[in-house]
Each structure stands twice: as C-alpha cells, then as structure tokens.
Amino acid sequence: MYRPHHAMAKVRHKFRRLAALPLLLCCAIAFPTGAQTQPAPQPERPVGAPPAEGPLRRDEPKPGPPDVQLEVFEGRPVREIRLVKPVRPKQEDEPVTYEPVDSETAKLVRNQLRLREGAAYDQSVVSSDITRLNRLGRFKQVETRAQPYDDGSVALIYILQLQPIVQDVQSVGNRKFSDQQIAKEVDILRGTPVDPLQLERACRRIEALYRKKGYYLARVSVEEEQLEKSGIVIFNIREGERLKVVDIRFEGNRSFGAAEIQPVIKTKVAWLFNRGPLDDDVLDDDVGSIIRFYKDRGYLDVRVDRNIRPAPTGKEAIVTFLIDEGPVYTLRSVETFYMEFARSFPTIAEAKADMKPGEKMLVLGPEARPGSPERNIFVSRDGQISSEQAKGLMLIKPGDVYSVDKLDKSIRAIANALGTMGYVDAQVTRRERRDTEQPRVDIVVFITQGKEYRTGEVIIQGNDITQQKVARRQIELQPDRPLDTVALENSTRRLKQTNVFDNQRVRITAQKPEDSDPEHRDVLAEVAETNTGEFNIGAAISSDGGVLGRISITQRNFDIADPPDTAGELFSGRAFRGGGQTFNITALPGDKVQSYGVSLAEPYLFETNFAGSAAFAYNQRIYDQYSEQRVGPRFALSRRFGTRWLATMPFSFEKAVIYDIPPSSAVDIYESQGSANIYRVGLNLSRSTFDDPVQPTRGTKFQIGAEQVYGTYNYNIFHAEHQIFIPLSEDYLGRTTTLSFHTRVGYIPQGRDKVPVYDRFYLGGSDLRGFQFRTVSPRTVAFDTGLPSPEPIGGTWMFNFGPEVKIPIYDDILALVFFVDSGTVLFEPGFDQYRVSVGTGLRVNIPQLSGAPLAFDFGFPVKKEPQDSGRLFTFSVDVPF
C-alpha cells in the first residue's frame, strides 16, 4: 500500500476570472520540484495514487461534475486513466489510502467512459461520464482529479467509493406481516450493490403495505451503521396501532341518504361484532361500489373520492366519501339492430333509396356536414326476435331513469330468449349515445343471432362409478330438440346440486358441428366424481328440544342393487355405489329427545318422475307432562309435476307408548297412557317457487294435505301451510332485505275424545316466540282432584300466522329479524283466545356448521291468556364436531 506523494493542480473557483498567463503560472507551481521532461519511472509513482495535496477525507462533500480546476487541462492529451478506491484507515487519525479497483469493476467503469487514453481532455465529456457512472447505482461517490506530466499530458484519476454489497435482507419489528410478505415488497437482491434510492423506495412500499391495512402510523427505516459494517440491509419497522373507523360520513349526497348508501360499502364502523379496521384496498372498492350504485340510478357523471382523517391519538379515524352526483340521466329511446343482415351506404339518401319494407336505418357517429360524404350508415332487417319483442323483454323502458344494472339484465334476457331457440352463438351488446345538451341516453342494442342448431348426442364423461342415468336425468337437453343455452345452464346447476359430482369440475358445452351434420351439435357433459360418503359427529341444542348428540353415516350415491362381488369391492368403497340413492343411518341421543333410524331414498323410481323412500325409526320424547315412544317403519311415494308441483303419499305403521304419567296429570293425558297402534296414510300436494330452498328471498310455497289414521284410534287430520317471501330491497352486493308471511292451519274434525294428546296441535316455542314450548293450548282438570290443571292438552284446531322482516347486516353471515307471531289452539274452528307476540332476533349463517341459519330470538307477548307461560329467549344451534 502506498501513500500519495505527487502534487495535484488545485485551482479555486475565483481563478476563472484570471487571464491565461496566471493560470499557466499556477500550473507550473503545481508541478513537483525537479520534474523532468519525462515522468519519473512508474515504480517511484504508484499507479492509482491521487495528487499529493493531502489525504482525501471521507467527510468531504460528494462532488458533482469534475472540479472546476480541471478546466486548465482542457485540450491536453490524456495519457492514462486510473481507477482507484479509498481504503478505510485502521485509525481515525490516519489519512485515507487508495488502491486500484478490482478487474470486474474496472471493466464496468471503462465501458461507461467516452473519454479514452490518447484523446484530448474535454470537461463536458468527463461530466457526462460521471453522470453515467452515478446512474449505475454502484458507487456512493465519484470524484475526478488530474495529475499533469512534464510533457504536458495528464493522468485522469477516478476515485470511486463503492457501494456496500448486500449480504442479506432482514426485517425487525414486523408483527402484522410475515418476513415473506415483507420480502415481496422489497426488490433488493443479495449480492448486489446497495442503492440508496432503491432502499428508500422499499421503505415507502413497506409503509404503503401497512397503510393498506389501516396502519397509517407505520414507519420504516434502514439501519445505516449495520449496512455499512456488514452489508446486511435491516428494515426497522415501527408498526404503530391499526386505525379503526369510528365514523363514516358522506358529503355531496343530495339525492340519497347515508342509510341508503351505507349497505353498498364494505368499510364498517367499529362496534361489538366488528373491529372496523381501516383498509385502503377496501376503501378503493367502496369508491367503485358507490359509483356503480349511482350509475345504476341514472347518475352517469358521478364522481366519488374518499378522505381519511386520523385522530390525534393515532388509533381512530373518520372516513368521508366525497360525492359529486351530477345530473340524472333518463332513457330516451331503445333501438335494436341486427348487424349480420346490415348493408352499408355512403349517404343517407342512398340508404333510404335502397330500404325495403320492414327494414330500418342506423347512423353511427355524428352526421357529416352538408355536401360531405357521410359514413357509418347501415340498413338492416329484424331477425328471429323483432324490435318490439326485444323491447318487451327489457326491464327498462324509454322514459325510465337510466340503470346500468337493468340494462345488463335486459341484454341477458334477450340473449337467453335467442338461446332457448337454439341460437347458441348469439351475441347481444349495447351502445350508449348521450345527448350533448340534455341528460338523456339513447341505447342501440346490437344483435348477432348466428345460426340455429339442434341438439345432437348428449355425451357424459368422467362418471367412473356413477351410472349414466344419474347424470343424464339432470340434463334438460334432449336429442333433435333446439339446443337451448338456458337449459344447458340449468343442467349444469342441477348436476352440481346432486352433490354427487365435484362442483368445481362440472361443465356442459356444445361441441362444434360435424361436417356431415351441420344442423346438429353434440353436447358434452364433463363431470368428476367426488366423495359422496359422510361420517358426521356433532351436537345440537335448542330451547325446544334440549341437548342432542348427532352421529350419522350418509351415502349420497348409494345403489342397493350393486352388492359387492368381492371383499375388495366392499372395502374399497366401490360396492353399493353409483345409483344416486341416499342411504342414511342416524343416531341422535339427547336429554329430552332421542331418535335412531335408518333410511333409503330413491329420487327417480324406475327412471320416472316418481320418487320413493323407506325408513325405520325409533323416537323418544320427554315432555313435562309425560314421556312418549314411537317405533315403526315409514314409507313415502311422491311424484313431481314439472319443477314446482309435488304430490306425496306417506304411509306408516307405528307403535306409540305413553308413560310416566302421574295421577295429578290432566284427564286427557292420563287417559292416553299405554300403547297404541297407529296406521297412517296421507296425501300431500305442494307447490314451490322459492329461489332458494333453505334461505329464500322471493317466491311462495303452498302445501295442503290430508291424513287418515287407523288402528287404536280412528280420525282424520287436515292441514295447510303457506309461505311467501317478498324482496323489499337489494344492495349492490346482492344482499336482500325480505318480508315474509307464514300461515299454518290444522284441523281434526272428529273432536277431542277421538284423538290422543300426542297427535293434537300445540303452539309455543319456535312457532309462537315469546311463549313456552307447547303451552298455547286448551286446559282441562286434573285426573285425581278434578280441579283445573295447568297442563296443556292440545287442541283439534290450530291457526298460526306471522310476518317477519329479515335485514342482512354483515355479508351473508349475520342478519337481523323483526317478527310478529300470532295464533291460537282450540277444540273448534275459531279465533278465540288469540295470542300475539312481537320480537327481534339474529340469524347466523355459517355453512360449515349447519345448512340452516342459527337462530336467536327474543319474543315478548303482547296478547296472552292468564294460564300462558312466557319465554323471553328462543334459540337453535347445530354444531358439527
């Protein structure tokens, strides 16, 4: 290692104002004493040594372009270019030494230099060379100096302070995000030089990552000292606390109240069931949702922004959505146009001259000025669906407020209408044309109907175990009938609903037509079988039935006609499978209710619209007044009429036993003790238009039935039930607020003496909330004393009616309900002793726990009888293990 010993020309900025002669004198003074015409031998002057004007300190400011004093060497020949780097001294008081850079760095730098050895010194070229070197990001500092030779040439010296090499990238202080998540935001590679600008950007990206999740006070920095010493990049993260939303405000919403806009957005105010986290991504989605909300209501020029105001504590924030509504647009006209039949013309006059009866003209774009050629002028005729028919299918009419959602649904309705007629490739689009002076919109619906096809062969693939008939009966398409695209979509949905195939891998597509039969297209149904066997262990608890355990074995793709041929088939699960039947074994032990049974159901008996089922069950129920056991087989035969009507004929043979009856019980209960043989046969007719069988939002369901009981007792039971669901509103996320009405009527004409207490009607509990289970009922006297008994004995006439409003409050998981329940139970038809209750409750929908929502209701009787028992809370919870 050598120390610098050569002098270097050091000229101050003020020397610019001096004449050439003083400058030359200064240069002569700067030469080493005793310098010869030729420079000293190279061993006496170490290569790469900077001028001997004193050590170069590391605390000197970073230079920009070459120093001003280098101007004195303008035009001199550059004898050599040296590339050196400073070496950190072992002690602070020692001067900085220099050594040549490594060969790889030297090659990189020389490739960037335009000024070469032998060329004349040009300060502007040196400046551009330094700029290029700085852009590489490899150097913390680049300095240039020059050392003159006595022959007038110079050595140009580049002092390069290399950036540290990144040895590792680490993060500390991050609890919300993992190291892997942080690393995705940091594009810093190990083994590359440190780039300060890149580090700064990485810090800001990590802070942006935290802001997206509501951590607006997060700060990220790099530990410079550790980076300088070891080359390890350590991001020091101070997360701070996550902001929670304490208030959501809307400004500029003149036409809609906050309560109308609030359901559209996902950002929620913090409360008991929601922490109200602030999330930038969710806020951006909310802005888009509000824009779509307004556009669906005719505000096509709406603009929406958001503003976040954190509290001084750094823990809370107020979100304000800034809305500029703009005018309300209305639909002025709707035109349909078949482009596949269109002819183009250069002028309107020529188009009119060529038009035939039933054709119409369409001008796209502004009309040209008089005398100039007009373009985009078309004449066409109607196709399979006329303009009037298409307008009739649309949900929006001229004069209505413009709605993007209704237009989208209208376009789909037109496409579906063509699809039902076999136009598989039909395309329906729309073009919007706004009035430049009035907030009105004209819509042109472009229809390309394509060719009409009929269904060829229906091919099913992927059903290795399941029989062809199980899948084929769910496909509505029939050979040589129109290739109905709506039926194709319905068939896909029905195959998924069988729960026999993997929902994600069910696909039905129309294949390309064969050259030999261009009028027909085969239909390919691709399925993949899934596990149809289930073993469930769980528990249920309700205010009516107490605590229940549940153990069940279910096979949804059972085939009773497929016994195993070998033991291998039995244990591999291939036996008794593939027929689409449902086989179930259930055990429900509980403190008040016990039920054990085995059942088999065939949904398509003999491949017809008939269905059949058979079961054998043992049931035990402990009431407050007595205990009941029933055991015996049950059968049912049903027939579907289309997709809405269903007729069912149930029949059963049961042995019923009533026991644990004290003498103080009511007379009717005491007289019903003992065993009885009950033979039932009935007929039920139902019609359903529900959009969802479990959680409907629209539609009706009506059921009426009659049942004849033989055996120990002989009587008839007539019953009817009606439900209607009416959607009141729907937010942008598709959550529907519904109003429902539920009505039930039951009547046994034979009267009280012919009917045992366990087959009579009762109300209370879940069907008349606010009253105890089965306590809305007539009373009688005690058997032993003849005094009035408080025990309910049931009636032979029942009427139950109740409206309910269901309001979704959190996604599809949580809903709030308000209800009114009413009804009465008597021995003769009438409405005496009518009870009424009101209340509210929650519905919690967790599909992983239960198919039906969990119910929690608070009921308050407002009209009751003196002997009635109230119940504030009614609930039902079903949890699998």
Alpha-carbon span 9 to 674, nearest angstrom: 124
- Does 581 have pLDDT greater than 50? yes
Alpha-carbon span 801 to 768, nearest angstrom: 9
Residue 726 amino acid letter = I
Q: Do the Cβ atoms of 819 and 802 come closer than 8 Å?
A: yes
pLDDT at 46: 35
pLDDT at 375: 57
**Least reliable range by pLDDT among 107-121, 122-136, 865-879:** 865-879
Tokens for 282, please give them.
């969710």
- Does 709 have pLDDT greater than 80? yes
pLDDT at 681: 97
- Does 8 have pLDDT greater than 70? no
The residues, ordered by sequence, that sit 6+ positions from 506 with a Cβ below 8 Å of its Cβ are 492, 495, 496, 525, 526, 527, 528
Alpha-carbon span 245 to 154, nearest angstrom: 69
Q: What is the DSSP string of 227-269?
A: HHHH-EEEEEEE--PPPEEEEEEEES-SSS-HHHHGGG-S---
Average of pLDDT values for 383-388?
Answer: 89
User: Using H for helix, E for strand and C for coil, what is the string for 565-609?
Assistant: CCHHHHHHCCCCECCCEEEEEEEECECCEEEEEEEEEECCHHHCC
Q: How confident is the model at residue 366 (pLDDT cuts 50, 70, 90)?
A: low
Average of pLDDT values for 78-107?
Answer: 85
Q: What percent of the chain stands above pLDDT 90?
A: 50
Instruction: Specify the higher pLDDT residue, 31 or 675.
Output: 675
Highest mean pLDDT among 321-335, 802-816, 865-879: 321-335
- Does 27 have pLDDT greater than 80? no
Neighbours of 812 (CB within 10 A): 13
pLDDT at 40: 33
Checking DSSP bridges between strand 627-641 and strand 610-622, what pairing results, if any? antiparallel
Q: How confident is the model at residue 784 (pLDDT cuts 50, 70, 90)?
A: confident
Q: How confident is the model at residue 373 (pLDDT cuts 50, 70, 90)?
A: very low
- Does 23 have pLDDT greater than 60? no
pLDDT at 185: 79
Sheet holding 154-162, edge to edge: 97-100, 78-87, 154-162, 139-148
The radius of gyration computed from the CA coordinates of the chain, to the nearest angstrom, equals: 43
Instruction: Specify the higher pLDDT residue, 243 or 590.
Output: 590
Neighbours of 811 (CB within 10 A): 11
Alpha-carbon span 68 to 91, nearest angstrom: 32
Domains and CATH numbers, the chain: 13-162 (3.10.20.310), 168-238 (3.10.20.310), 244-324 (3.10.20.310), 330-448 (3.10.20.310), 454-526 (3.10.20.310), 680-880 (2.40.160.50)
Q: Is 802 exposed, middle or buried (0-12, 13-18, 19+ CB in 10 A)?
A: buried
Q: How confident is the model at residue 11 (pLDDT cuts 50, 70, 90)?
A: very low
**Least reliable range by pLDDT among 73-77, 79-83, 282-286, 731-735:** 731-735
Neighbours of 19 (CB within 10 A): 7
Write the pLDDT tens digit of every residue in 596-641: 999 999 999 988 999 999 999 999 999 888 999 999 999 999 999 9
pLDDT at 312: 80
pLDDT at 827: 95
- Does 712 have pLDDT greater than 80? yes
Q: What pTM does this model have? A: 0.65
Closest to 774 (Cα-Cα) out of 626, 643, 876: 626
Tokens for 237, please give them.
């993260």
Q: Does residue 44 sit in helix, strand or coil?
A: helix
Alpha-carbon span 172 to 823, nearest angstrom: 66
**Least reliable range by pLDDT among 177-186, 649-658, 690-699:** 177-186
pLDDT at 643: 84
- Does 262 have pLDDT greater than 90? no
Alpha-carbon span 747 to 759, nearest angstrom: 11
Q: Give the H or E element holding residue 667.
A: helix 667-671
pLDDT at 274: 66
Average of pLDDT values for 15-41?
Answer: 34
- Does 39 have pLDDT greater than 50? no
Average of pLDDT values for 790-800?
Answer: 95
- Does 96 have pLDDT greater than 70? yes
Write the pLDDT tens digit of every residue in 47-57: 333 443 333 33
Write the pLDDT tens digit of every residue in 520-567: 999 999 999 998 988 988 888 887 788 889 899 999 999 999 888 887
Instruction: Specify the higher pLDDT residue, 850 or 699.
Output: 699
The residues, ordered by sequence, that sit 6+ positions from 35 with a Cβ below 8 Å of its Cβ are 150
pLDDT at 881: 46
Q: What percent of the chain stands above pLDDT 70?
A: 88
Alpha-carbon span 604 to 532, nearest angstrom: 18
pLDDT at 5: 37
pLDDT at 851: 62
Write the pLDDT tens digit of every residue in 207-242: 888 887 878 778 899 888 888 777 788 899 988 877
Alpha-carbon span 149 to 157, nearest angstrom: 13
Helices H / strands E in the chain, number of each: 15, 35
pLDDT at 710: 94
pLDDT at 445: 92
- Does 723 have pLDDT greater than 90? yes
Alpha-carbon span 564 to 586, nearest angstrom: 23
Tokens for 346, please give them.
């250069």
Closest to 195 (Cα-Cα) out of 136, 142, 130, 108: 136
- Does 254 have pLDDT greater than 90? yes
pLDDT at 566: 83
Average of pLDDT values for 717-744?
Answer: 90
pLDDT at 715: 96
Highest mean pLDDT among 27-36, 183-192, 336-345: 336-345
Write the pLDDT tens digit of every residue in 593-606: 999 999 999 999 98
Average pLDDT, rounded, for the chain: 85
